[in-house]
């Protein structure tokens, strides 16, 4: 259980760190925050790459490839649309 | 150094960039570079992963990345800002779907090599599949509701909660017995599973059950409650990614996933607070239905209505104006006309600010994005607490397409919206309400604000009336 405990430590501490930095985001930026966070949840692409890269069975490869496509849509689309929104926030 | 050590250090740098990138989102001035930093963190993590792991088939992997990037890029480039909630819902769904796909692939891989899984891995595979699949189908339904493909009204049927509870229980039982595969060495698993031939159908049932559960959890939720649902699904997509991190023993997946999980949870809480509802009430209350509007009779009391010319006079000769935009403004696409009115007023020396309620749009902060798109300077966008401190000294409040969030009934302990945080617009000297009719908002109750002595009703379509207002203010 040692390894699993370390993972749990990381999970809890990262959640607390996330809570701290995200609470400071003002309501004005909540939509970009959400779409940006959304892009970050595309981190699942790492998992998809690992699984697909090592795939030696056809169905594993199919699932992994589908995972890569979905996660990449999430990552690329998420960061791009967040940038598109944020460049509109201007002070005049 | 071993390549694995280099990878772990790169993941650490990536984690630091993610956290500091989000931190930069705390100000509109630095937010754009914060987003760039987070995308750099992602790129770093991807490149390092590709270099560190053996990739058997580069063609497939790269083709999948290019296809995904093209689809995501086109969606991001051409989406209308009003459709942002739908887009976020779809992206959420894909994030959840990707996590579910990864967990399912790991299950197949492990199943193929016999019952050698540790219990911990079995549990995380099941959880990753479950949360990912619920996020996927739930997000697609949320997309459908926001896009108008699926009805925005709550879909309810008898014994719905019982069915949901039973389904959830069933999925958990299947999941638990699957996770038990891990202890197959020595201990007899619940269903005697182990080999893929036996456990496969159970896994398929788990996926199917989770997909159906995602649909059933979202369909009873009304259109007005979508900000909560989108926030919650956002959180799920992060937790699903973190769970696959447990499966693959990958730190960066856990860190980035839990950051998103935390973000979604915080936004969910904020949205619930802004609507004065508990999460349970949103999830199971079947609230926010347009059908409820028939409950009250409105228009029985006299109101003072004005035309564009009179409204323009009141605005043009005010010292300070606070604009309160609601979702009606976005529906009518009148934000650009509104900006013109505000520019004209400012040219005359009138101080103009915007009071934005947290649930003014269809997702948290949506209205601020729409106003930013119309080129409104962000320092003029005030949130609930800040603008409420200003209404006492404001000459005119112009309300466009908002209703429940300015209803003074929220201060009456007997009202259905009692305790909901509202904008205290009735404290201003004059209130102009731009609205189609006296019909109630989502809460289905009449609004006393409309009948007050200092309230002027300016009836009509927001866009048409706003264009009229531009003309009249120019001539005033």
Single out the residue of B23, B44, B45, B85 nearest to residue B362, CA to CA.
B85
> Would the pLDDT of B188 be above 70?
no
Q: Sign (positive/negative) of CA torsion B436, B86, A24, B410?
A: positive
Asked whether residue A17 is assigned to any structural domain, the reply reads: no
pLDDT mean over B199-225 = 88
What pLDDT is attached to residue A79? 98
User: How many domains does chain A divide into?
Assistant: 1
Predicted pLDDT at A91: 83
Provide the pLDDT for residue B359.
85
| A10-14, B113-117, B152-156, B289-293: least confident range | B289-293
Does position A41 have pLDDT exceeding 70, yes or no?
Answer: yes
Q: Higher-confidence residue: B457 or B111?
A: B457
* B-chain residues near A45 (CB < 8 A): 42, 46, 98
Is the dihedral angle over the CA atoms B59, B64, B66, B67 positive or is it negative? positive
SS3 assignment, position B472: helix
In angstroms, the Cα distances linking B164 to A1, B144, B171, B175 are 33, 20, 10, 16
Cβ–Cβ gap A80/B72 under 8 Å: yes
What was the pLDDT predicted at B239?
A: 96
Q: How many CB atoms lie within 10 A of CB B313?
A: 14
pLDDT at B363 over 70: yes
Q: For B112-168, how does the pLDDT look when each residue is reduced to its tens digit (9 = 90+)?
A: 555 556 677 788 888 999 999 999 999 999 999 999 888 878 888 888 888 888 999
Residue A63 maps to a domain:
yes
Helix-strand-coil split of chain A, %, nearest 5: 85, 0, 15
| Mean pLDDT across chain B | 88
CA pair distance B99, B101, nearest whole angstrom: 5
Scan residues 25-84 of A and list those with Cβ closer than 8 Å to B.
25-57, 59-61, 63-84
Question: Rounded CA gap, B165 and B181, in Å?
Answer: 25
- Does A77 map to a domain? yes
Residue A52 lies in a domain: yes
- Give the C-alpha separation, B263 to B260, whole Å: 5
What are the structure tokens assigned to B197, written together?
């031939």
The answer to which of A56-60, B379-383, B388-392, B469-473 has the lowest mean pLDDT is: A56-60
Phi, psi dihedrals of residue B286, rounded to the nearest 5°: 50, 45
Q: Evaluate whether residue A54 is within a structural domain.
A: yes
Contacts of B368 in chain A (CB under 8 A): 27-31
- Catalytic residue list contains B404: yes
A21 lies in a domain? no
- pLDDT given at position B34: 97
Give me the mean pLDDT over the B335-342 stretch.
94
Neighbours of A61 (CB within 10 A): 21
3-class DSSP state of B185: coil
| Partner residue facing A77 (CB), from B50, B73, B241 | B73
| Residue B298 distance to chain A (closest CA, Å) | 33
pTM score: 0.89
- At residue B334, the 3 state secondary structure works out as coil
pLDDT at site B308? 93
CA of A33, closest CA in chain B: separation in Å? 7
B304 Cα to chain A: minimum distance (Å): 34
> What are B462's strand-pairing partners?
none
The total of other beta-carbon atoms located within 10 Å of residue B22's CB is 30
Judge whether residue B191 has pLDDT over 50.
no
The per-residue pLDDT for range B238-258, each reduced to its tens digit, is: 999 999 999 899 999 999 999
Is the per-residue pLDDT at B184 higher than 80?
no
Which of B21-35, B261-275, B399-413 has the highest mean predicted lDDT (pLDDT)?
B21-35
Q: Give the range of the structural domain holding residue A62, as residue numbers without chain letter.
A: 27-86
Q: Say how far apart CA B106 and CA B131 lie, in whole Å.
A: 15
Point out the least confidently predicted range of B186-195, B334-343, B421-430.
Answer: B186-195
- Check whether B297 has a pLDDT greater than 90: no
A64 CA: distance to closest CA in chain B (Å): 6
**Strands B351-356, B430-435: pairing kind:** unpaired
Query: What pLDDT score does B192 carry?
Result: 37
User: Which comes out higher in pLDDT, residue B161 or A29?
Assistant: A29
> Would the pLDDT of B182 be above 50?
no
pLDDT value at position B227? 84
Q: Looking at the domain assignment, is residue A11 inside a domain? A: no
Which range has the worst mean pLDDT, A28-32, B196-200, B226-230, B433-437?
B196-200
Task: Give the span between the Cα atoms of B121 and B103, in whole angstroms.
Answer: 10
Instruction: Compare all CA atoms of chain B with the CA of A42 and give the residue at the minimum distance.
Output: B95
Evaluate if residue B109 carries a pLDDT over 90.
no
The pair of structure tokens assigned to B47 is 């490149």
Asked whether residue A14 is assigned to any structural domain, the reply reads no
Integer angstrom CA distances of residue B409 from B237, B294, B304, B458: 37, 18, 20, 21
Of B225, B383, B392, B404, which residue is the catalytic one? B404
SS3 B462: helix
Distance in angstroms (rounded) separating the CA atoms of residues A45 and B190: 33
> In percent, how much of chain B has pLDDT > 70?
91
Portion 280-299 of B in contact with A at CB < 8 A: none
Yes or no: say if A44 and B43 are a contact pair by the CB < 8 Å rule.
no
B234 lies within 8 A of chain A by CB: yes
Q: Decide: B81 and A36 in contact? Cβ < 8 Å.
A: no
* Nearest CB to A85; choose among B251, B361, B369: B369
């Amino acid at each position: 259980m040692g390894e699993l405990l370390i993972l749990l430590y990381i999970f809890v501490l990262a959640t607390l760190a996330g809570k701290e930095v995200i609470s400071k985001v003002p309501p004005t930026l909540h939509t970009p925050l959400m779409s940006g966070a959304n892009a970050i949840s595309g981190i699942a692409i790492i998992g998809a790459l690992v699984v697909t890269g090592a795939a030696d069975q056809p169905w594993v490869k199919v699932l992994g490839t589908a995972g890569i496509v979905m996660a990449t849509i999430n990552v690329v689309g998420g960061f791009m649309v967040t940038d598109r929104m944020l460049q509109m926030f201007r002070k005049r | 150094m071993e390549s694995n050590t280099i990878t772990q250090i790169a993941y650490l740098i990536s984690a630091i960039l993610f956290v500091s990138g989000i931190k930069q989102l705390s100000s509109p001035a630095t937010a754009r570079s914060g987003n760039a930093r987070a995308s750099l963190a992602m790129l770093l993590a991807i490149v390092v992963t590709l270099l560190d792991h053996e990739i058997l088939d580069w063609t497939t992997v790269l083709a999948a990345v290019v296809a995904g990037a093209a689809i995501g890029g086109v969606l991001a480039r051409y989406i209308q800002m009003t459709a942002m909630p739908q887009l976020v819902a779809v992206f959420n769904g894909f994030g959840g779907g990707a996590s579910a796909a990864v967990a399912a692939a790991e299950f197949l891989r492990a199943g193929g090599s016999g019952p050698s899984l540790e219990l911990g891995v079995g549990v995380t595979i099941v959880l990753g599949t479950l949360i990912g699949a619920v996020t996927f189908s739930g997000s697609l339904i949320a997309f459908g509701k926001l896009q108008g493909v699926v009805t925005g009204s709550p879909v309810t049927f008898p014994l719905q909660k019982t069915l949901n509870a039973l389904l959830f229980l069933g999925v958990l039982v299947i999941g638990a017995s699957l996770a038990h595969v891990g202890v197959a060495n020595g201990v007899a698993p619940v269903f005697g599973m182990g080999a893929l031939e036996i456990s496969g159908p159970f896994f398929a049932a788990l996926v199917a059950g989770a997909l159906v559960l995602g649909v059933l959890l979202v369909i009873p939720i009304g259109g007005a409650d979508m900000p909560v649902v989108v926030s919650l699904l956002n959180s799920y997509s992060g937790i699903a990614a973190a769970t696959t991190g447990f499966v693959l023993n990958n730190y960066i997946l856990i860190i980035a996933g839990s950051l998103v999980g935390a973000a979604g949870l915080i936004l969910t809480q904020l949205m619930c607070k802004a609507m004065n509802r508990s999460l349970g009430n949103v999830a199971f209350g079947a609230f926010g239905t347009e059908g409820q509007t028939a409950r009250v009779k409105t228009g029985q009391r006299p109101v003072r209505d004005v035309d564009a010319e009179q409204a323009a006079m009141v605005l043009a000769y005010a010292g300070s104006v606070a604009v309160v935009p609601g979702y009606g403004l976005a529906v009518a696409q009148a934000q650009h006309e509104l900006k013109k009115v505000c520019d004209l007023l400012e040219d005359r020396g009138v101080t103009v600010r915007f009071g934005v309620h947290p649930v003014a749009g269809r997702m948290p902060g949506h209205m601020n994005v729409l106003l930013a798109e119309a080129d409104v300077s962000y320092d003029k966008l005030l949130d609930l607490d800040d603008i409420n401190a200003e209404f006492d000294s404001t000459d005119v409040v112009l309300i466009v397409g908002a209703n429940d969030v300015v209803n003074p009934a929220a201060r009456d302990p007997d009202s259905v919206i009692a305790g909901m945080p509202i904008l205290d617009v009735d404290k201003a000297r004059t209130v102009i309400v731009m609205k189609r009719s006296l019909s109630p908002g989502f809460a289905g109750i009449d609004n006393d604000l409309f009948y007050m002595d200092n309230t002027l009703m300016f009836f009509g379509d927001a866009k048409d009336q706003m264009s009229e207002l531009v003309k009249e203010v120019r001539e005033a």
